[in-house]
Amino acid sequence: MIAIIQRVTQASVTINNIVKGQIGMGFLVLLGITHTDTQEDIEWLSKKITGLRVFGDEEGKMNLDLKAVDGNILLISQFTLHASTKKGNRPSFIEAARPEVAIPLYEQMIKQLEQDSGKSIETGEFGADMKVALLNDGPVTIMIDSKNRI
């Protein structure tokens, strides 16, 4: 599982000109799921996301996590994070999980993030054509891959 975490002051996702999810301060998380991901990946990645200390403390140092700043999460599924660009100019998405595997894992990730953050998670819609808007704060953008834990 790959997550791109962007610290934002605001973010939203629009589908068919209707805002589906939006947050103020917190994380916009783009989530890529592969066919080998498991519940263990979900639990590990959720803890990393919710415990990530990238918000400024009283001295301006990145030392606070999501809970400390009462931040929120907007979670967007994004299969293109598993694109392979090794050959040619057209990416291959063979490592991205098929919907029958990815959708249940995405739904489990939502529940796990809600449990770990203690808040409802705003989301997009799996497989939809989404328009994502954000105001990246910093900018701070971090990639975490659950397969690279060591």
Whole-angstrom CA distances from 23 to 49, 83, 87, 134 are 16, 28, 38, 9
**Any idea what DSSP says for residue 58?**
T
Intra-chain end-to-end CA distance of the chain, in Å: 15
Residue 9's region, left for phi above 0, alpha for psi from -120 to 50, else beta, is alpha
**Which residue among 9, 36, 38, 80 is the active-site one?**
80
80 included as an active-site residue: yes
Task: Give the β-pairing of 55-56 and 2-15.
Answer: unpaired
> How far apart, in whole angstroms, are the C-alpha atoms of residue 26 and residue 17?
23
Active site residues: 80
